[in-house]
Amino acid sequence: MSTAMNFGTKSFAPRPPDKGAFPLDHFGECSEFKDNFMRCLRQNNFENSLCRQQSKEYLQCRMERQLMAKEPLERLGFKDLQDKEKVENKPQ
């Protein structure tokens, strides 16, 4: 007996990711930021919410070096960190 199942005649058509390709950092331009982020994850038992600042810095590095499309940091989930920086940098 055959165990193969036929779910119709339509074939699956893969589609690219919404944000497009993510070029590799061949020259290691952002490796310092990546290493800081990974170190933070290891020190915090891989609780990524405790390493959001390092994640933000890594993504900023990638955007500045055209290794990913520029996106407003608010759309990447860092609005609260930006607001916090504005308050800390506000002259008194």
Residue 69's contacts (CB-CB under 8 Å, 6 or more residues apart) are: 19, 20, 63
* Alpha carbon 2 to its chain's center: 44
Condensed to tens digits (0 to 9), the pLDDT of residues 56-87 reads 999 999 999 999 889 999 998 888 887 666 65
Q: Which amino acid belongs to residue 42?
A: R
Q: Would you list the domain boundaries of the chain? A: 27-71
pTM of the model as a whole: 0.68
Q: Which of 77, 79, 69 is nearest to 18 (CA)?
A: 69
How far, in Å, CA of 79 to CA of 75, rounded?
8
Condensed to tens digits (0 to 9), the pLDDT of residues 25-36 reads 889 999 999 999
* Alpha carbon 10 to its chain's center: 34
